[in-house]
């Protein structure tokens, strides 16, 4: 995402050449390794990062709508994480087995937990079942941080407080809730629901920035304490994500009215 800001003014041909060189470098590094986990990382780099950045740039250039481009990119990342789980299921299972000693080490550091085989097996099963939610959330968080850097590097800037995802993303959230109702698809529904919660958490953060941005822009110490309090309190994160979802219908920032006013203004 940060790199998108640097290639913004380049031609499509140059962007494709840069992406092709990127793919060749990643494949060249992975070619001499026999470990399947290396190829899993290569896939993450080429598809999850490289192709995602290219799609974001192409959508943004063609539609000139950074909210739409960001929403489609995040949905793409979530879709890739589910494809990753299906395509690399044997590799993920093998990696989980290799991680068993590390899980045991961390369990020993927590006196309230017992580092027995059942506990380690539960952690392995949890990591495998909810791999899409874990990786998807990290991809979404990384994309959002990249957007902050993109804003600094690109002429196409968007204040974070104006981020609002298209209404159609709600249908993905509804589909996630529907999948959680059936035992057969519940695991996939929870994975998708966690990823969508991260997306609406970003929109909730944008609402907070819109409401308190001017005040906390001056009081930087209070802003730091607020950020730390939000990160360390799970209920607050849930509340902010819920605010992001409700913003779809209630438009707390009245951005729709502002857009209509700008469109009717001849200046």
pLDDT one-digit tens code per residue, 40-61:
999 999 999 889 888 888 888 8
pTM higher than 0.95 = no
Distances (CA, A) of 25 to 30, 53, 220, 240: 9, 17, 42, 40
Mean pLDDT in residue range 123-130 = 90
Tens of pLDDT, residues 159-204: 788 889 999 999 999 999 999 999 999 999 999 999 999 999 999 9
Burial class (CB within 10 angstroms; exposed 0-12, middle 13-18, buried 19+) of 81: buried
- Reduced to 3 states, what is the DSSP secondary structure of residue 48? helix
CA-CA distance, 135 to 191, in Å (whole number)? 10
Residue found by looking up tokens 């035992």 in the block = 183
Cα 205 from Cα 211, distance rounded (Å): 10
> d(Cα 157, Cα 151) in Å, to the nearest integer?
5
Instruction: Give me the pLDDT at residue 155, please.
Output: 65
User: In the prediction, which pLDDT does 161 show?
Assistant: 84
Beta strands in 119-247 (DSSP E): none
Query: C-alpha angle with apex 66: 197 to 245, nearest 5 degrees?
Result: 25
Per-residue model confidence (pLDDT) at position 236: 86
Q: How far is CA 201 from the centre of its chain?
A: 10
Tell me which of 153 and 264 has the higher pLDDT.
153
**Range 221-243 average pLDDT:** 79
CB atoms within 10 A of CB 179: 18
What's the CA gap between 207 and 215, in Å, rounded?
14
Q: Are 204 and 243 in contact (CB under 8 A)?
A: yes
Q: What is the pLDDT of residue 257?
A: 52
What's the mean pLDDT when you consider all of the chain?
84
**Exposure of 241 by Cβ count < 10 A (0-12 exposed, 13-18 middle, 19+ buried)?**
buried
A 10 A CB-CB count for 178 gives 12
Q: Which residue, 124, 118, 95, 119, is CA-closest to 109? A: 119
Is the pLDDT reported for residue 84 higher than 60?
yes
**What is the C-alpha to C-alpha distance for residues 49 and 96, in angstroms, rounded to an integer?**
23
Other beta carbons within 10 angstroms of residue 121's beta carbon come to: 13
Q: How confident is the model at residue 267 (pLDDT cuts 50, 70, 90)?
A: very low
Q: Cα dihedral sign for 88, 93, 98, 99?
A: positive
DSSP code for 10: S
7-34 residues labelled b (16+ CB within 10 A) or e (exposed): bbeeeeeebeebbeebbeebeeebeeee
């Amino acid at each position: 995402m940060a790199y998108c800001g640097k290639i913004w003014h380049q031609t499509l041909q140059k962007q494709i050449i840069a992406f092709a060189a990127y793919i060749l470098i990643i494949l060249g590094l992975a070619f001499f390794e026999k470990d399947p986990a290396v190829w899993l990382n290569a896939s993450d780099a080429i598809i999850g990062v490289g192709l995602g950045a290219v799609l974001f740039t192409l959508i943004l250039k063609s539609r000139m709508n950074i909210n739409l481009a960001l929403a489609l990119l995040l949905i793409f990342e979530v879709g890739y994480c589910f494809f990753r789980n299906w395509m690399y299921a044997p590799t993920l299972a093998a990696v989980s087995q290799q991680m068993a000693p590390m899980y045991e080490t961390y369990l020993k550091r927590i006196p309230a937990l017992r580092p027995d085989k059942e506990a380690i097996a539960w952690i392995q099963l949890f990591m495998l079942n909810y791999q899409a939610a874990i990786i998807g959330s990290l991809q979404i968080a990384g994309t959002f941080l990249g957007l902050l850097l993109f804003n600094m590097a690109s002429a196409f800037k968007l204040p974070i407080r104006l981020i609002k995802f298209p209404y159609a993303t709600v249908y993905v959230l509804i589909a996630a809730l529907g999948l959680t109702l059936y035992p057969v698809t519940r695991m996939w529904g929870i994975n998708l629901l966690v990823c969508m919660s991260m997306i609406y958490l970003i929109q909730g953060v944008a609402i907070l920035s819109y409401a308190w941005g001017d005040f906390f822009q001056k009081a930087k110490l209070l802003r730091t304490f607020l950020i730390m309090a939000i990160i360390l309190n799970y209920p607050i994160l849930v509340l902010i994500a819920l605010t992001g979802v409700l913003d779809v219908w209630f438009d707390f920032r009245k951005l729709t009215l502002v857009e209509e006013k700008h469109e009717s203004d001849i200046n």
